[in-house]
């Protein structure tokens, strides 16, 4: 089985590793780099638990190979907290609005909201737009209302200031 | 589950990709991986080699030619969603792309991958069929063009030879008076469609039907066009009788059901969607700002 030398940036660090062809990105992040924050759910692109940002865009890390991330910048849930370890705005809003319960889907949800924040480019979003964006992240605990409220608060409230 | 072992190849040019595909045994082309990777992870298929087209830059461009957009097979679905010009010039594609998977899968998924995968409920093959798109395919033997209507061979399979790669999709620009409507029904937004319908309608100055195309997805193994009726209704005023004729015809179309949706249910949905899509298209014609 072919091996590949890859170099990529994950959060603030650059890593060089040798990977098998068939190793997917989420297994690479968890098992090779020890970044266990990204969860593995269905492994066929349906549940959204493994959602990470690759070059600022959300992707299913179970449907992307580690070797395909060569030269790219991957951002995981570990990059979300402030540098001093305190909760960032997105985490505070998720907490305030009860946007999570068991926490399994949360890393994927947060990464989706992060992309949504960047793409909203300062424009207010409707609840429908937020729900559409979050439709790719399954949550079996919350009924979604909390995370939708958190995203709306985060994106639209900051506009008012 | 995890995918079984394979060797990964990342050619930089189309020529390299075609060489690999013609020489490697049991090789498969990898586009965006949003259908192929799930199949590999579920072990529904296995290949010894994957040839990733992600680094073949020449397949990632959208160019406008006279009367058509030339869309590279590796253009990501999210780029199509955001591409300026499609809303006005290819409204059917603009409407349909929003139904394709989720934002997270559209970031990786490509137009060429979806068209080659030929899922019976997929939006992009239905758009290609209804828009009379033409495909450009390449192999080490040369290039050829295929009308999309001749592309399907059997469930999830196309007429592509094992050594051929889809390189470009020629998507015709819609006439400025075309009223285009894409509708689908699924239980949850972004789920696979249970049934889907695409309509292109143009009326002449007397409000007679000048041009009509109707495509239906989700019934059988591939999307279908209602060519016979498109021709028959040309030059006529729209009437409720036509709708009954269409719906009676749809009723006779062969279809397949699954555990969740019976063939009858899918068929009923298709009839309802055709009515809604045509109604909307006629409303758009009366009021261009509608929709």
* Per-residue pLDDT tens digits for A81-104: 999 999 999 999 999 999 999 999
Instruction: State whether B64 and B128 are in the same domain.
Output: yes
Q: Is residue B291 part of a domain?
A: no
Percent of residues in chain B assigned helix, strand, coil, to nearest 5: 35, 25, 40
In a domain? residue B47: yes
Gap from A59 CA to chain B (nearest CA, Å) = 5
Cβ distance A44 to B101 less than 8 Å, yes or no, reads no
Q: How many CB pairs under 8 A join A and B?
A: 89
Confidence of residue A12 (pLDDT cuts 50, 70, 90): very high
Instruction: Give, in order, the Cα–Cα distances in Å from A150 to each of A99, A112, A131, B58, B138.
Output: 7, 12, 12, 41, 49
Residues B148 and B211 in one domain: no
Contacts of A140 (CB under 8 A, 6+ apart): A102, A105
Q: Do residues B88 and B161 both lie within one domain?
A: yes
Assigned superfamily of A3-79? Beta-grasp domain (3.10.20.30)
Same-domain check for residues B20 and B45: yes
- Tell me the CA distances in angstroms from B249 to A48, A50, A99, one per residue in order: 40, 45, 49
Q: What is the pLDDT of residue B291?
A: 43
Q: Does B79 share its domain with B158?
A: yes
Contact A63 B8 (CB under 8 A): no
Do both B168 and B183 map to the same domain? no
Residue with tokens 């994106």: A155
- What confidence tens digit (pLDDT) does each residue in B185-200 have? 998 877 899 999 999 9
Total Cβ atoms within 10 A of residue B237: 11
Q: pTM for this one?
A: 0.95
B116 and B212 belong to one structural domain: no
The CA distance from A82 to A33, in Å, is 20
Q: Name, in order, each residue with C-beta under 8 angstroms of B283's C-beta and a sequence gap of 6 or more.
A: B290, B291
Number of Cβ within 10 Å of residue B252's Cβ equals 7
By Cβ distance, the residue of B8, B34, B38 closest to A65 is: B8
Question: Is B37's Cβ below 8 Å from some Cβ in A?
Answer: yes
The runs of H, that is alpha helices, within chain A are 25-27, 89-96, 106-120, 127-134, 145-152, 158-160
- Tens digits of per-residue pLDDT, A25-42? 999 999 999 999 999 999
Inter-chain touch A24–B3, beta carbons under 8 Å: yes
Instruction: Tell me whether residue B2 is in a domain.
Output: no
Q: What is the pLDDT of residues B129-150, one digit of tens each?
A: 999 999 999 999 999 999 999 9
Nearest in space to B140 (alpha carbons), one of B113, B165, B119 = B165
Chain A contact for B225, CB < 8 A?
no
Contact residues on chain A for B8, CB-CB shorter than 8 A: 2, 4, 21-22, 65, 67
Whether A45 contacts chain B with CB within 8 A: yes
The answer as to whether B1 is a domain residue is no
Nearest-angstrom CA–CA distance, A34 and A17 = 13
Domain count, chain B: 3
Which of B190, B10, B5, B177 lies closest to B89 in space, CA to CA?
A: B177
Q: Is position B184 within any domain?
A: yes
Question: Does the CB of B8 have a partner CB in chain A at under 8 Å?
Answer: yes
Are B25 and B48 a contacting pair, CB within 8 Å? yes
Contact A48 B189 (CB under 8 A): no
- State whether B104 and A112 contact (CB < 8 Å): yes
Best of A60, A66, A67, A113 to disrupt the B interface by mutation (most B CBs within 10 Å)? Answer: A60
Containing domain of residue B137, as a range?
59-172
**From-to residues of CATH 3.10.20.30 in chain A:** 3-79
Residue A40 in contact with residue A50, Cβ under 8 Å? yes
pLDDT, tens digit (0-9, with 9 covering 90-100), for B210-240: 999 999 999 999 999 999 999 999 999 999 9
Query: Which pLDDT band, with edges at 50, 70 and 90, does A48 fall under?
Result: very high
Q: Of the residues B137, B172, B207, which one is the last residue of a structural domain?
A: B172
- Binary contact (A21, B6; C-beta < 8 A): yes
CATH number for the domain harbouring residue B256? 3.30.390.50
Q: Cα distance from A12 to chain B (closest Cα, Å)?
A: 22
Which residues in chain B have Cβ-Cβ distances shorter than 8 Å to A63? 33-34, 37-38, 41, 105, 108
Same domain, B150 and B251: no
Q: Do A1 and B7 touch (CB under 8 A)?
A: yes
Contacts of A34 by beta carbon, 8 Å cutoff, 6+ apart: none
Statement: A89-160 belongs to CATH 1.20.1340.10: no
Among candidate residues B172, B195, B222, the one where a domain is terminated: B172
């Amino acid at each position: 089985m072919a091996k590949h030398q890859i170099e990529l940036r994950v959060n603030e660090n650059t890593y060089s590793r040798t990977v098998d062809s068939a190793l997917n990105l989420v297994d690479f992040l968890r098992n090779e780099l020890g970044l266990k924050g990204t969860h593995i759910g269905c492994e066929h692109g349906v549940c959204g638990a493994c959602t990470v940002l690759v070059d600022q865009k959300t992707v299913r890390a179970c449907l992307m190979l580690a070797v395909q991330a060569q030269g790219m910048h991957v951002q995981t849930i570990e990059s979300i907290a402030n540098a001093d370890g305190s909760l960032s705005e997105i985490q505070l809003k998720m907490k305030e609005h009860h946007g999570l319960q068991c926490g399994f889907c949360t890393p994927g949800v947060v990464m989706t909201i992060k992309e949504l924040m960047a793409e909203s480019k300062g424009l207010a979003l409707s609840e429908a737009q937020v729900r559409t964006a979050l439709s790719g992240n399954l949550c079996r605990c919350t009924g979604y209302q909390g995370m939708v409220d958190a995203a709306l608060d985060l994106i639209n409230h900051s506009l008012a200031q | 589950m995890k995918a079984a072992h394979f060797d990964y190849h990342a050619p930089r040019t189309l020529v390299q990709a075609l060489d690999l595909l013609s020489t490697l045994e049991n090789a498969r082309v990898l586009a965006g991986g949003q259908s192929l990777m799930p199949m590999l992870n579920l072990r529904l298929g296995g290949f010894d080699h994957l040839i990733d087209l992600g680094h073949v830059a020449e397949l990632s461009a959208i160019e406008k030619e006279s009367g058509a957009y030339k869309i590279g097979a590796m253009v990501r679905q999210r780029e199509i969603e955001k591409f300026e010009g499609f809303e006005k010039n290819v409204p059917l594609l603009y409407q349909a792309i929003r139904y394709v998977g989720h934002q997270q899968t559209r970031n990786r998924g490509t137009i060429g991958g979806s068209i080659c995968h030929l899922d019976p409920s997929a939006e992009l093959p239905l758009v290609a069929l209804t828009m009379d798109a033409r495909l450009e395919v390449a192999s080490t033997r040369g290039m050829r063009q295929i009308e999309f209507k001749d592309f399907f061979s059997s469930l999830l399979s196309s007429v592509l030879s094992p050594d051929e790669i889809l390189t470009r999709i020629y998507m015709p620009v819609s006439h400025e008076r075309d009223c285009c409507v894409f509708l689908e029904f699924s239980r949850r937004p972004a789920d696979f469609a249970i049934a889907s319908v695409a309509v292109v309608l143009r009326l002449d100055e007397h409000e007679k039907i000048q041009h009509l195309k109707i495509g239906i997805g989700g019934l059988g193994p591939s999307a279908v066009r209602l060519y016979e009726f498109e021709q028959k209704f040309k030059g006529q005023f729209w009437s409720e009788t036509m709708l009954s004729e269409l719906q009676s015809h749809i009723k006779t179309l062969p279809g397949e059901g699954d555990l969740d949706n019976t063939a009858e249910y899918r068929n009923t949905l298709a009839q309802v969607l055709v009515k809604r899509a045509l109604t909307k298209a006629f409303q758009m014609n009366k009021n261009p700002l509608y929709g």
